[in-house]
Amino acid sequence: MSGEKQGALLLRKQLTDLNKNGAEGFSAGLIDDENLFKWELMIVGPPETFYEGGLFKAHLYFPKEYPHRPPKMRFISEFWHPNVHKDGEVCISILHEPGEDKYGYEHASERWLPVHTVETILMSVISMISDPNDESPANVDAAVSCFAL
């Protein structure tokens, strides 16, 4: 079985599981029913944060090599956060390519691993929203305003 077909089967199973079991803090579905590699997400702003009560749309784009390579995530809704680039791209360790970080900021165990699922990715994103990483901000302006509070 080709890697792309394996990835598609895995993504179909994850989508089915999420829809059957539900998940707290987000919902997920396909952007286009014909393409399992492009997902649309709705994330609920976590309680006791600046984002509380907000609904934020994001897209998750999976590479053909999934699960061996990480997806990319981008907020479609405007989202001002230290760990989200100004264009909406999410910058968290588990979405970084697997292996050692050439800059030494992250351990390989913090980066992408094939065991991650859509649910673990989104739980990490919700955690990131609640507790920004100020050591390596993707959006310096947001970091300055966020940590000045």
Catalytic residue among 41, 58, 60, 91: 91
pLDDT-based confidence at residue 142 (cuts at 50, 70, 90): confident
Query: Around Cβ 6, how many Cβ atoms within 10 Å?
Result: 14
pLDDT-based confidence at residue 136 (cuts at 50, 70, 90): confident
3-class DSSP assignment, residue 141: helix
91 is known as an active-site residue? yes
Cα(113)–Cα(67) distance, integer angstroms: 8
Q: Give the tokens for residue 35.
A: 């393409």
pLDDT digits (tens, 9 = 90+) for 45-99: 999 999 999 999 999 999 999 999 999 999 999 999 999 999 999 999 999 999 9
Question: Locate tokens 């590699």: which residue?
Answer: 37
The strand pair at 38-44 and 55-61 is best described as: antiparallel
Report phi then psi at 71, rounded to 5. -75, 170
